[in-house]
Amino acid sequence: MYGYTPNKEEYMRRLRRIEGQVRGLQRMVEEEKYCIDILTQVSAATRALQSVALGLMEDHLGHCVTQTAAEGGDTAAAKVREASDAIARLVRS
């Protein structure tokens, strides 16, 4: 069980909505909509994905990282490093 498990249905709902946004983008390209209008929708889908990522990260810090820290021992440092690497990937993507 992970930090996001209690919110699983909510994440599924958001990811299905993002899938719909990406299919909408395919339709816009197919129907040759104006470039700038497509770009606006790409930005919206990107922001929605990042918002999912930020939610998953908060759940992860509040559950997996916090729990490992409470248990003490060497794994806490490894968990912090792993989370920090994931944060760096988010910031740089």
Residues binding a copy of itself (CB under 8 A): 1-5, 8, 11-12, 15-16, 18-19, 22-23, 25-26, 29-30, 32, 34-36, 38-40, 42-47, 49-50, 52-54, 56-62, 64-67, 69-70, 72, 76-77, 80-84, 86-93
Return the SS3 of 33. Answer: coil
**Residue 93 CB, nearest approach to a copy of itself (Å):** 4
DSSP 32: T
**Residue 88 CB, nearest approach to a copy of itself (Å):** 5
Gap between the Cα atoms of 21 and 15, Å rounded: 10
**Residue 76 CB, nearest approach to a copy of itself (Å):** 6
Q: How far is CA 22 from CA 18, 30, 77, 79, in A?
A: 6, 12, 38, 33
